[in-house]
Structure 1
Amino acid sequence: MSIPSTLPRSLNAWLQHLDSIRLPIAEGSHLEIGRTLADSRRSMRDIAEVIQRSPALALLLMREANRDAASPAVSLEVALTRLGVARCEALLRKVPRVAEHEIPLQLRQLTLISQHAAQQASGLFSSRLARLWQEIHWCSLLFMAPLWPLACAYPELIQAWEQRVMIDGEPAERVERELLGVPVRDLCRALAEHWSLPEWIVQGYRLLGSDRRLLVKALHIARDDLHPLHQQQLLDQDPALRRWLTQPANTVLLANGIALAAHACWSDLHNLRWQRLTGLYLQLPLADIQQLVHQQAVRSAQLHSQPGLWHPAQALLWPSGTQHLCRPVVKQEVKTNLQAWREHCGQLLRQPSPFANVLQLTACARDALHASGVQRLALLVTDRERNRLLCQQSIGLGDQGTNLSLLVAQSQILRKLLEAPNQLRLNASNMARYSAFIPGPIKALFSGEDLLLQSLANRGRVVMLLVADMNGAPFSETQLQALGKTCQCVERALAQFAARARQ
């Protein structure tokens, strides 16, 4: 199966492409915000507090408020005042409204990290810089917003970056040039400037790029956290560095650095660097900073955690050094239950068909596939109009697998698989190419890079779709052969069942 997937490779091409992407909003949030805007008793601050639970809409309103403005709005409350309630309601009506699970997992995870960063910023810095708390909060929340359209349109690129950079340890800039053609920091800075986001956000990306020298010098001093007097002496010897370090805009980068590093591990070197730098900024011991950071992580989890998403607060009870993002353990090959497999396949091939209905047939097919070694699977059948695929049997997917329903028109891959008997086998080498075309509910249920989608047909007409994996591990050749033979038995059972029904 060949699906063309051409990506932009230059900064200007990415800028134009990502600028045109409309971020979706969950249906529940959309309704709540609509009711809030329609309530004349609500103040702009009340409205802003409700909207901030939907970062995608907050970004849209900030962009619209700053379009052609003399100076960027530094908070959502200012943006709402500029736009007015009527304009906000009109913009809300244009936003795509989808079910929560239809929003790409990588986009939801990235916005959760941004919400965690905003909580870290508020807890660490807002009390010391009370007059600037709105700027600190909103700039921290929207700092990674330039990545949200990328995560929405190409979640597989975010997944590939996470695997290669945060897990495999490859150099970030090299990976980014291979995947995107440009460094991520340059792309984020260009988008932030194009959207007229607050200057603190642009300054943060500038610091990661062209002004990196100051950051490196500060990190070097922060490393000596056991000798605060010596740190102060080094800062006194470099007045330019001392003036830069105390800038309030640095709080945005510090909070996002902590949140992003904590996503992988609380005690690795990357997290320790950001914690030490924050201690140098606040002039507090590392132990105090770590206590504050952990408290804010717990508070963020209480406010923002969502089913199916990872929040670093979950790892605070784990042993020190445990990583959330780590190399997958190579699993031993799953052995086929040969006796059970033969029994189920024999039942499928029996003539005349022993099944009273399709449900009995698919239950036997499910058991045969599981006995062949498949760890997780969903068997979906088409409705009469062939517009929708409905899960009839599943293993290893829980209630979400039982309720799985897919609209064929929304996926080019599903349309091709239903046109004629076919197979799509995904693995590490081609996942980035095809992932954008895989329906979101399937990606949410089947984590990992190795996945198989197989059409099952009756006399050349596809009537069923198999989605299967090995709990994220690669398929072996033996497993693929057993699975292929099982699918042949299922198709023969379908033909015999249909023939008996016609008699």
Structure 2
Amino acid sequence: MPIETKVPGQIPRTLDGWIKLLDSVRLPVPKESHDRVLAAINDSRRSLREIAELMQDSPALVLCVMREANHPANASQAEPAESLEVAVNRLGLERTAQLLTRLPALPGDDIPPVLRQFLLISQHASQQASGLFASRLARLWQEIHWGSLLFLSPLWPLALSHPKLLDAWELRVIHKGEDATEVEQELFGVRIMELCQAVASHWRLPEWVTQGYRLLTSERELLAQVLNIAREPDSLTQQHRLDEEPGLRRWFNQPANTVLLANGLALAAQVGWDNPHLLRWQLLTALYLQTSLDDVQQQVHQQAAASARHHARHALFHPAEALIWPWQQRRPHPDMLTPPPPPSEDLVRWRKLCGELLAQPSPFSNAVHLASQACEALLACGMQRILLLMHDKPNDTLLVQQAAGLPNEAAALNLPVAQNKLLQRLTSQAGQLRLTPDNHAQFSALLPAALRALFRSEHLLLRSLAVDGQVQMLMIADQGGKPLADVGVQAFGKTAQCVERALATFSKPNR
């Protein structure tokens, strides 16, 4: 199994490219868990089962051991190991210890938060699976336990290498309801579930994991048929409809489906307990268990609380927290929250920078120097993504003078004014446009495609600055796509006034 963890900067656009990248990522494990397991391996009194039980406190460690045991170079058996105990037995304690020494061990709080959140979701899913299904399918409890814990594991290295992509996916698909196919093709170049299925097959994860992804990709129509039956309010009607389609009943009643159901419940609960995604998984679970929706909801809440007692960690969200919220309250995505005001030292710096912009005579040697000062002032007052463009009047284009918080290609942006009515309006006279969720659909379509690609946001400020009635600069800024704080909007306006006066002073012949 590859152990190097060098992650290329360019985002892959194909399944093969993603598999190669995710294969190269070494997941960190909590140091306390790492040391505890290593000590147990070196203790001759410990059994394989005890060692496996210690390992499960670190899902990343479980994945590394399972991948190593199931790697073609190590697995003489045709079938992949379905449980951690089998995997450790296949490797032997000595090789398992060698594997542990090659893994990066970090204090728990030092592991990146997006990865820690995904690991917590997987632990919650494992608890749901054990509580809902393991007692009913006692002979299969190991397959249920380890399959549910590892189901989301193809996303763990993605959470470590490209956390912003997963954040953007969650914001746009789950919270804003954008089309998943379009968003995933734009962000990843491939569908997320197809990627997970390909990675799970490549890693030779337990069959129940890959089967769950097949259900979400090639068998979605069957799942939709079952969901239609699950929505029947009368349980007797549900059973009659399943009896009429014995093939569908057999397909849905497969024990392997418990892994998918548990992960669907845990993942959807991250948003809140009253959301349509979670309701769908609860209905499917109720049909699978042949019980009522109320009973399933009660059991799911109990398992969430049990998971929180074992798995909740500081600074991570666990759905059990939301059980005491008002029923319809949902957890907002961090990018949907207004950012806090800048720290006092930043505001002190902002005032100093604005004072220098207002200085007479002008302290700036050239327009680039002035724009650089303006950009620093905007950053100090809380703006996170900034683009300052100078109006090249002879060619009637807008050329980037300064950029911050944006990809490198933003510096080469060249916007012809004549080809865009909104730019024509902004360059004809000084003015300001603030995009909000209420007017985003109206004005976003008017922005040049290059600007829309850079600022995917419903919260954006655009302001043109003029000297003697002639627009010289266009300022574009936001707070990382988050809702704009009132203090931030006011500071943006005051900064713009200072920059406009600086441009006027700079343009005087005898400055």
Change (3 A) 1:233 1:152: same
Counterpart of 1:103 in structure 2 is 111
Kindly indicate whether the alpha-carbon contact (under 8 Å) linking 1:116 and 1:297 is maintained by their aligned counterparts in 2.
Answer: yes
Change (3 A) 1:482 1:120: same
Counterpart of 1:296 in structure 2 is 303
Question: Could you list the per-position Cα deviations for residues 357-406 of structure 1 after superposition, in whole angstroms to 9, with x for gaps in the alignment?
Answer: xxxxxxxxxxxx9xx86699xxxxxxxxxxxxxxxxxxxxxxxxxxxxxx
Counterpart of 1:216 in structure 2 is 224
Aligned mate of 1:264, from 271, 281, 285: 271
Instruction: Please tell me the residue identity of whatever aligns with 1:147.
Output: L
Distance in 2 separating the partners of 1:333 and 1:113: 27
Instruction: Please tell me the residue identity of whatever aligns with 1:50.
Output: L
- TM-score, scaled to structure 2: 0.68
Change (3 A) 1:279 1:330: closer
Counterpart of 2:287 in structure 1 is 280
Counterpart of 2:212 in structure 1 is 204
Structure 1 unaligned regions, length at least 5: 350-368, 377-422, 434-447, 451-468, 487-503
> Equivalent residue of 2:270, what SS?
helix
Kindly indicate whether the alpha-carbon contact (under 8 Å) linking 2:169 and 2:183 is maintained by their aligned counterparts in 1.
Answer: yes
Aligned mate of 1:232, from 221, 234, 239: 239
Corresponding pairs, count: 381
Instruction: Please tell me the residue identity of whatever aligns with 1:146.
Output: P
CA RMSD of aligned residues (A): 3.7
Change (3 A) 1:274 1:332: closer
Distance in 1 separating the partners of 2:207 and 2:225: 23
What displacement does 1:38 show? 1.4
2:162 aligned with 1:150? no
Counterpart of 2:62 in structure 1 is 58
2:491 aligned with 1:479? yes
> Equivalent residue of 2:44, what SS?
coil
> Equivalent residue of 1:319, what SS?
coil
Instruction: Please tell me the residue identity of whatever aligns with 1:91.
Output: L
Counterpart of 1:17 in structure 2 is 21
Instruction: Please tell me the residue identity of whatever aligns with 1:310.
Output: F
Question: Could you list the per-position Cα deviations for residues 255-296 of structure 1 after superposition, in whole angstroms to 9, with x for gaps in the alignment?
Answer: 000001101111111111100110100001111101100000
Instruction: Please tell me the residue identity of whatever aligns with 1:315.
Output: A
Question: Could you list the per-position Cα deviations for residues 116-167 of structure 1 after superposition, in whole angstroms to 9, with x for gaps in the alignment?
Answer: 0000000000000000001000000000000111111111111111111111
Structure 2 counterparts to residues 265-344 of structure 1, below 5 A: 265-325=272-332
> Equivalent residue of 1:72, what SS?
coil
Distance in 1 separating the partners of 2:67 and 2:223: 29
What displacement does 1:189 show? 0.5
Aligned mate of 1:8, from 12, 32, 54: 12
What displacement does 1:98 show? 2.3
Change (3 A) 1:42 1:485: farther
Distance in 1 separating the partners of 2:129 and 2:325: 24
Question: Could you list the per-position Cα deviations for residues 1-47 of structure 1 after superposition, in whole angstroms to 9, with x for gaps in the alignment?
Answer: xxx94211011111111111111112222222221221211111111
Kindly indicate whether the alpha-carbon contact (under 8 Å) linking 1:374 and 1:470 is maintained by their aligned counterparts in 2.
Answer: no
What displacement does 1:100 show? 2.6
User: Highest relative contact order (Cα 8 Å, sep 6+), 1 or 2?
Assistant: 1
Q: Percent identity?
A: 50
What displacement does 1:336 show? 12
Change (3 A) 1:329 1:131: closer
Instruction: Please tell me the residue identity of whatever aligns with 2:183.
Output: V
Change (3 A) 1:139 1:483: farther
Structure 2 counterparts to residues 119-158 of structure 1, below 5 A: 119-158=127-166
Instruction: Please tell me the residue identity of whatever aligns with 1:104.
Output: P
Distance in 2 separating the partners of 1:223 and 1:300: 28
Change (3 A) 1:189 1:41: same
Structure 2 counterparts to residues 103-502 of structure 1, below 5 A: 103-224=111-232, 226-325=233-332, 425-426=404-405, 473-474=483-484, 476=488, 478-479=490-491
Structure 2 unaligned regions, length at least 5: 1-7, 357-376, 385-401, 411-456, 460-478, 499-511
Instruction: Please tell me the residue identity of whatever aligns with 2:491.
Output: Q
Distance in 1 separating the partners of 2:11 and 2:483: 28
Instruction: Please tell me the residue identity of whatever aligns with 1:64.
Output: E
Counterpart of 1:30 in structure 2 is 34
- TM-score, scaled to structure 1: 0.69
Instruction: Please tell me the residue identity of whatever aligns with 2:165.
Output: L
Counterpart of 1:46 in structure 2 is 50
Q: Give the number of the structure whose alpha-carbon radius of gyration is greater.
A: 2
Distance in 2 separating the partners of 1:131 and 1:116: 22
Counterpart of 2:101 in structure 1 is 93
Change (3 A) 1:425 1:27: farther
